[in-house]
Amino acid sequence: MEQNIGLQHYDLVVIGAGPAGTSAAIRAAELGARVAVVEASRTGGTCVNTGCVPTRVLAKTARLVREVRIAHEYGIATSAPEVQWDTTVTRVRATVDKVRSLKDEPGRFAASGVELILEGRARFADANTLVLDSGRRITADSVIIAVGGHSRRLPIPGAELATVPEHVLELPSLPRRVAIIGGGNTGAQLVTVFSSFGSEVAVLDVAPRILAASDSEVSAAVSTAFAEQGVAVHTGLDGVDSLVTSADGSITLTWRAGGHSVEREFDAVIMATGWPADVDDLGLENAGITTVRSAIPVDQYFRSVVPHIYAVGDANGRDMLVQAAHFEGEAAAENAVLDANRRTPHHLLPAGGFTDPDYAGVGLTEEQARERDPHCIVATVPFTELDRAVIDDRSRGFLKLIADRRRELILGAHAVGENAIEVVQSVTTAMAAGIDVSTLAGVKFAYPTYSAVIGLAARGLLAQGAASLEGSVTPSWPVRGCRSRPAQ
């Protein structure tokens, strides 16, 4: 039975203290609202506590292992590296704690006048009333749902035997054989981590290629690199059927491919098969909200079907990335407090992965550009043309720029290779500023740097007539025009 411990009213209650919720709460407080944040676990959100931050530390560790393996080529005498899993896990957790400490959300809330409530999960009793696990009831004029997401297990027999990405650090030891189900961003990064650590790795996906949402050339390049590193890449599966514990404690994984059943034994199976919003058990039905595909439908202003209830970040199932969540939180806060109609642009959202090699992309893929814009042109510069990449022995990769021939604007950028994410981020800045191809081609880049590849690619676009530049020459790297597909 619920305890009526007290009833407090707020202008705005934010459910969740991850990046979207934190940004929303602090912005609303800046606008003069009385704000409370309800957090069921730890501040910082999934990305800091169990997602991006720990994954990046693992990726850094994996890079160090690879560097030690080739150190002798530079005259540095070393022995073969050996990953001590317990020490690695300790390092990861210490780094997570350090990041959380530096972010200091509780301190930021206090300084902004936001009340942080750590009394368990919040559930709607009605559209304006929330009941906490503690029994406390609070009311609000507006509510922003920013609860984040969680890994999804496949609904198959033995799914409980698998590990999900946010629980990877709970593996008791470094597995000798690892199967990763799901070749998206998370799965691909874990492939590199465990492969670099010396595990035998297989990655499985029902999609026709890994990194299916990326540009096809990015996907192909990363897949080829994985295969050359000894990773077994299984794509286009008919399905994954079951997991069964074997007598020796290993896991037998069964899947179907090409109409045939395949069985393999692994020491660990990781399911990176989706990221639904964590909206179960919020009592949404009591507020008049129905989820669609495990997320809360919202309009362009992040309002749900109930106008004073908003959903941002993973909760609305749109971009589901930290870099979008911050802006969505702020926009929803302004809309809730000021009754405004602020939107956030979603077409410029750089994303990528710390794999071997790294990859990244922003804007339209080449496939999308071909469908949408009959005037697009494409320039691809291999990293072999980049002195810095040759110097660092990181010449595997490329940068692809896609541009509108008439408007002279960049439509998309996609890269594979060293510092791919940073390179694409720089292009994103140019796209956001509306810098045209001619201007970008005239930017002077420091030498020798990876970012210099941007200038090379921009000049490649000019050579095709994306813009006029007196004295331009045809480069040695491949450039090609896009044509729209014929009408069906």
441 near 469, Cβ under 8 Å? yes
Kindly tell me if the per-residue pLDDT of 351 is higher than 90.
yes
The predicted pLDDT at position 118 comes to: 96
What pLDDT sits at residue 315? 97
Could you give the maximum distance between any two Cα atoms of the chain, in Å?
80
- Please tell me the predicted confidence (pLDDT) of residue 347: 76
Burial class for 34, CB neighbours closer than 10 Å (0-12, 13-18, 19+): middle
Angstrom CA distances, 133 to 109, 121, 123, 136, 385, stand at: 21, 6, 8, 7, 59
Res. 485 pLDDT band, cuts 50 70 90: very low
Give the chain's radius of gyration (CA, Å). Answer: 24
Structure confidence by residue, pLDDT tens digits, 447-470: 999 999 999 999 999 987 644 334
In this structure, the number of other CB atoms found within 10 A of the CB of residue 361 comes to 26
Q: What is the mean pLDDT of the chain?
A: 93
> Which neighbouring-strand residues pair with 292?
295
* Cβ atoms 319, 353 nearer than 8 A: no
Per the DSSP assignment, residues forming a β-bridge with 360 are 352, 415
**Tokens standing for residue 248:** 């020796």
Share of the chain above pLDDT 70, in %: 94
With bands split at pLDDT 50, 70 and 90, how would you rate the model's confidence at 193?
Answer: very high
Residue 148, pLDDT > 50, answer yes
3-state secondary structure of 71: helix
The dihedral over CA atoms of 149, 291, 279, 159, expressed in degrees to the nearest 10, equals -60
d(CA 330, CA 340): 12
342 beta partners: none
Measured CA distances, 79 to 68, 71, 199, 346 (Å) = 8, 10, 18, 48
SS3 343: coil
Summarize the confidence of residues 130-139 as an average pLDDT. 96
How confident is the model over 156-171, as a mean pLDDT?
97
Using the predicted structure, report yes or no on whether residue 53 has a pLDDT greater than 50. yes
Tens of pLDDT, residue by residue over 293-318, are 999 999 999 999 999 999 999 999 99
Say if residue 474's pLDDT is above 90. Answer: no
pTM: 0.92
| Cβ-Cβ contacts under 8 Å for 324 (sequence gap 6 or more) | 313, 318, 344, 346, 349
pLDDT score of 480 more than 80 = no
Q: What is the pLDDT of residue 472?
A: 41
Provide the 10 A C-beta neighbour count for residue 320.
Answer: 17
Give 345's pLDDT tier (boundaries 50, 70, 90). confident
pLDDT at residue 473, as a whole number: 44
Q: Are 233 and 204 in contact (CB under 8 A)?
A: no
Residue 465: its pLDDT value, please? 65
Q: What pLDDT was estimated at residue 6?
A: 54
pLDDT in tens, 232-247: 999 999 999 999 998 8
Q: What's the CA angle centered on 242, arms 239 and 245, to 5 degrees?
A: 150
CA 116/CA 141 separation, integer angstroms: 18
Residues 367-388: tens digit of each pLDDT: 999 998 877 899 999 999 999 9
Residue 4's pLDDT band (cuts 50, 70, 90): very low
Distance, in Å, from the CA atom of 184 to the CA atom of 213, rounded to the nearest integer, reads 8
